[in-house]
Homo-oligomer: A and B are copies of this chain.
Amino acid sequence: MTAGEIVDDTASGGTRSGEKSRRDILDAAARILRRRGYHATTLRTIADAVGIKAGSIYYHFASKDEIIAAVMNDGVDAVHRAVTEALAGLAANASLEERLETAIRAHLHALLEFGDYTSAGLNAYSEAPEPVRDAARPHRLAYEAIWDRLAEEIVAAGATGAGVSARSLKLALLGMMNWSPEWYRPERHRVDDLAREFTALVLARRG
């Protein structure tokens, strides 16, 4: 089952004629991957959702794993871009609290609302075969660097509890955010509220 490497072609450009089908396949794969996980995401299920036959997928992709890897990495890159842009949109003198809340809000929005690709990546990562995880790792690390820097700033400013390391702060933040697909219900929660509460929780201080 695909022993070789997985090529990362998410940046390949051009708007060829078959580009739509390719995107349709990825969209369907992301939707199914998010809810059912790696092994339950079959080529026939994907094909059904797109309206083509399973064999036809191989015109666009070389293997199942290439699809999965593309979805996962597109997902991470999308959150990365969303958070980066949200932070870039802030005033230069924005407070630390403002920047943390903005980053959390952007992450949660990407994860919970535009989130098929994003949470597919979270949901399938641990059960995907090694080559897929290998292909995903650089994307994940690149994104986490944002939170490394934020966490270090927060700790350096003494804005959180005593004895909390930047590393633990980052892991705690990613944990509370990335666990949210488990309980989030659009009719019960508002992302902006959650972002504000998570920020207040971490930066808690007594007046």
Contacts and interface: CB of A to CB of B under 8 A. Distances in A.
B40 A200 contact: no
Identical copies in the complex: 2
Interface string A160-192: 111111001101111111111011000000000
A36 B197 contact: no
Contacts of A206: 158, 205-206
Contact of A200 (B162, B197, B203, B205): B162
Contacts of A182: 126, 175
A126 B173 CA distance: 21
Given A180-B175, A204-B204, A197 B163 contact: yes
A37 B164 contact: no
Contact of A171 (B39, B165, B176): B176
A196 interface: yes
B201 A172 contact: yes
A182 B121 CA distance: 13
Interface in A146-165: 158, 160-165
Contacts of A127: 36-37, 39-40, 123, 127
A202 interface: yes
Interface residues of A, number: 43
Given A126-B123, A177-B175, A180-B175, A169 B37 contact: no
A117 interface: no
B168 A179 contact: no
A198 interface: yes
Nearest to A188: B167
Interface of A: 35-40, 123, 126-127, 158, 160-165, 168-169, 171-180, 182-183, 194, 196-207
